[in-house]
């Protein structure tokens, strides 16, 4: 993969760790490694949830501007697809994902966080899309995912200005889901994923797909997506286990296999 991105698995939870000091700038190597890590954790049967973490000091302070500074239009036209592909890969991990945010999550770093299902931020975290200050716009999903998460007006405010958003404001507008002290960020991310370990993996996968695909289409199409995924779960062992356990023992006592 890369020395700049690693995958560790403990207790059913995978951690994708960024390790490019001092600011975890997302150069091409890091982008490719994140995409590869997303595929790996998505395929591993011993993984029920995924944390993306930049370490105790910083999540990711954006793309590598030195790498982009000399690129021409044709250079970026060739690369822009890959720039979006790595955040698409993260968003398509078929398991619950959490961005554990310490310090800065700016530009591409914020876009990585937006590609996750949940975001836990340190109380001193700063998030934002400051690309406008470089004369460009977000290019790894920021204009689309941010608007869908916080609404178009608030997304325009953040993107047009390039300003940094504090953890408290991020929580208030729904950009993050939880704010804790910096030393507690990783533990809080693990706690958020813990309920899914040992859960009905294919049902969770189907729920994520139904929501993520359904929100992009009209209601009737979304309902059809839900219907097909719902019916497909009747082919799983976990569906039989869950229903039999409910009938015999009441709710919440099933022991799932993830099959």
Residues 147, 19 share a domain: yes
Residues, the chain: 259
CA distance to 61, 69, 126, 152, 251, per residue, from 120 (Å): 16, 32, 12, 22, 29
Question: 122 by DSSP, 3-state: which?
Answer: strand
Residues 192, 206 share a domain: no
CB atoms within 10 A of CB 242: 20
Residues 94, 35 share a domain: yes
Residues 14, 69 share a domain: yes
Residues 206, 92 share a domain: no
Domain containing 206 — which CATH number?
1.10.12.10
Residue 83 has pLDDT above 90, yes or no: no
Name the more confident of 53 and 67. 53
pLDDT of residue 71: 85
Residues 112, 14 share a domain: yes
Across the range 240-245, mean pLDDT stands at 96
CA distance to 2, 15, 213, per residue, from 19 (Å): 10, 12, 32
pTM, entire model: 0.94
- Is there a domain that residue 10 lies in? yes
Residue 109 has pLDDT above 80, yes or no: yes
pLDDT of residue 1: 63
Residues 224, 121 share a domain: no
Residues marked active site are found at: 111, 131
Instruction: Please tell me the total count of domains within the chain.
Output: 2
Residues 218, 90 share a domain: no
User: Which of 156, 171, 196 corresponds to the end of one domain?
Assistant: 196
pLDDT of residue 82: 79
Closest CA to 124 of 77, 74, 183: 183
Spatial distance between the Cα atoms of 84 and 68, rounded to a whole number of angstroms? 15
Name the residue range of residue 207's domain: 201-249
Residues 213, 188 share a domain: no
């Amino acid at each position: 993969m890369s020395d700049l991105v690693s995958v560790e698995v403990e207790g059913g939870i995978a951690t994708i760790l960024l390790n490019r000091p001092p600011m975890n700038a997302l150069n091409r190597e890091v982008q490719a490694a994140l995409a590869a890590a997303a595929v790996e954790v998505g395929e591993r049967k011993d993984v029920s949830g995924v944390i993306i973490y930049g370490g105790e000091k910083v999540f990711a302070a954006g793309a590598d501007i030195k790498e982009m500074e000399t690129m021409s239009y044709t250079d970026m036209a060739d690369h822009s697809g890959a720039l979006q592909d790595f955040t698409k890969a993260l968003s398509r991990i078929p398991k619950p994902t959490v961005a554990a945010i310490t310090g800065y999550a700016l530009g591409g770093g914020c876009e990585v966080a937006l590609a996750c299902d949940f975001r836990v931020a340190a109380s001193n975290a700063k998030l934002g899309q400051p690309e406008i200050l470089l004369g460009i716009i977000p290019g790894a999903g920021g204009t689309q995912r941010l608007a869908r998460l916080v609404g178009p007006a608030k997304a325009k405010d953040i993107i047009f200005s390039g300003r940094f958003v504090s953890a408290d404001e991020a929580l208030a507008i729904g950009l993050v889901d939880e704010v804790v002290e910096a030393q507690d960020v990783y533990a809080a991310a693990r706690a958020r994923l813990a309920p899914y370990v040992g859960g009905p993996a294919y049902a969770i996968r189907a729920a994520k797909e139904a929501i993520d695909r359904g929100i992009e289409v009209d209601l009737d199409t979304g309902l059809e997506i839900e219907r097909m995924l719902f019916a497909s779960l009747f082919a799983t062992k976990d569906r039989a286990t869950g229903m039999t356990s409910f009938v015999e023992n009441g709710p919440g006592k099933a022991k799932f296999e993830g099959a």
